[in-house]
């Protein structure tokens, strides 16, 4: 498969996925569909731009050659981070927001290759109290609590 064809197929796939999301949100009550509709339409417009750009002479030249499949960890890292993000979203319900966020933060920083432990811990020491203060104290939001807290 050529890189140009792959680019166009990805654009079509994104347009279809955005259309499905838009159709699924039509039944949301009130205006609760405003953000998902905006996001879906924006993604569709960007994909249309991506598709249109693939017909320009510059992109036709840039996308010459065949698709090369790379099965190294570095190439698949975004997919792994997405999978961990989905697991995080589910674990928030069962384990709790703060515990899941704490584990997710350290897992993703490790997965993305950040190894400066001093910076990671300093960021966590600043980030998590700030999250607690903002959501629990300032907004009085009740975040999901699970088995731990």
pTM: 0.64
pLDDT at 149: 63
pLDDT at 142: 77
**Per-residue model confidence as pLDDT tens digits over 105-132:** 999 999 988 889 999 999 999 998 998 8
Choose among 17, 56, 72: nearest CA to 40.
Answer: 17
pLDDT at 27: 87
Mean pLDDT, rounded, for 10-21 = 96
Mean pLDDT, rounded, for 18-25 = 94
Q: Does residue 85 surpass a pLDDT of 90?
A: yes
**Per-residue model confidence as pLDDT tens digits over 36-83:** 999 999 999 999 999 999 999 898 899 999 998 888 988 899 999 999
The confidence band for 133, taking pLDDT boundaries of 50, 70 and 90, is: confident
Residues ≥6 apart with Cβ < 8 Å to 51: 8, 11, 12, 15
Residues ≥6 apart with Cβ < 8 Å to 104: 84, 85, 88, 91
List the structure tokens of 66.
């065949």
pLDDT at 98: 86
Distance (Å) of CA 149 to CA 80, 84, 94, 102, 115: 26, 20, 10, 12, 28
What is the length of the chain? 149
Indicate the helix (H) or strand (E) that contains 10: helix 3-24
């Amino acid at each position: 498969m050529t890189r140009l064809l792959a680019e166009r197929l990805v654009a079509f796939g994104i347009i279809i996925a955005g259309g499905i999301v838009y159709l699924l949100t039509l039944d949301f009550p009130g205006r609760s569909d405003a953000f998902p509709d905006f996001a879906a339409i924006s993604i569709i417009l960007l994909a249309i731009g991506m598709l249109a750009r693939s017909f320009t002479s510059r992109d036709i030249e840039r996308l010459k050659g065949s698709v090369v499949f790379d099965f190294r960890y570095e190439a698949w890292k975004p997919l792994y981070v997405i999978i961990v993000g989905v697991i995080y979203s589910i674990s928030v319900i069962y384990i709790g927001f703060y515990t899941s966020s704490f584990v997710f933060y350290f897992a993703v920083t490790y997965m993305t290759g950040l190894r400066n432990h001093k910076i990671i811990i300093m960021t966590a020491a600043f980030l998590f109290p700030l999250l607690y203060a903002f959501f629990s104290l300032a907004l009085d939001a009740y975040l999901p609590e699970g088995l731990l807290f």
